[in-house]
Amino acid sequence: MDRILRNAVIGASVALVAGSFATIALAGDANHGAQVFRGQCAVCHSSTASAGPTVGPKLFGVVGRHAGTQPGYAYSNAMKKSGLVWTPAELKLYLTNPAGTVHGNKMPYPGLHNPAQLEDLVTYLGSLK
Ligand code: HEC
């Protein structure tokens, strides 16, 4: 192989690898997730440490929390007894299909079915701490 061509090929592969790392780093975009939150969740959920519950429990610190345990909020029995811990994976399942994931829970939200928005939203929820 001609030396210049070989260097070009190596250069291109390095760029490709660097490109896929950039994609991984950007997989969850918290700023975009905050926009999704404002559009779809903020009407019922607060997200700051000092805010109280509104229509739904406050979501500050939700990642890693046991479901149905935020003090001062009247959860459904279904949520209190779900036994879930809000890991990113559980949040994605629940937010895709709230009624189907926690039967009898009272969150009146039909589900978010855009995987990229869901990823960004859960990244944003993870930043609320
Ligand atoms: C129309 C109001 C409403 C909207 C919109 C809504 N929620 Fe909820 N959410 C609730 C209610 C009410 C509950 C309490 C459910 C229960 O106790 O059964 C809840 C519960 C939750 C919980 C469980 C929290 C805990 O402490 O266990 C999470 C997580 C959650 N919502 C996230 C979201 C996210 C993220 C969005 C936006 C994609 C959203 N919700 C949109 C009303 C809403």
63-109 confidence digits (pLDDT tens): 999 999 999 999 999 999 999 999 999 999 999 999 999 999 999 99
Q: Is the pLDDT of residue 25 over 50?
A: no
Residue 88 structural domain: 28-126
* Pocket probe mutation, ligand 1, options 44, 58, 85, 118, max atoms within 8 Å of Cβ: 44
Asked whether residue 80 is domain-assigned, the answer is: yes
Note whether 99 and 33 are within 8 A (CB).
no
C-alpha to C-alpha distances, 94 to 7, 11, 24, 66, nearest whole angstrom: 49, 43, 23, 13
The CATH number covering residue 94 comes to 1.10.760.10
Expressed in angstroms and rounded, the spacing between residue 45 Cα and the centre of ligand 1 is 7
Cα dihedral 41, 116, 31, 50, rounded to 10, equals 30
Expressed in angstroms and rounded, the spacing between residue 30 Cα and the centre of ligand 1 is 19
Asked whether residue 9 is domain-assigned, the answer is: no
Cα 52 to its chain centre, rounded Å, is 21
Is the C-beta atom of 95 inside 6 A of ligand 1? yes
Give the list of residues 6+ apart from residue 90 with CB closer than 8 angstroms, or none: 84
User: Which pLDDT belongs to residue 98?
Assistant: 98
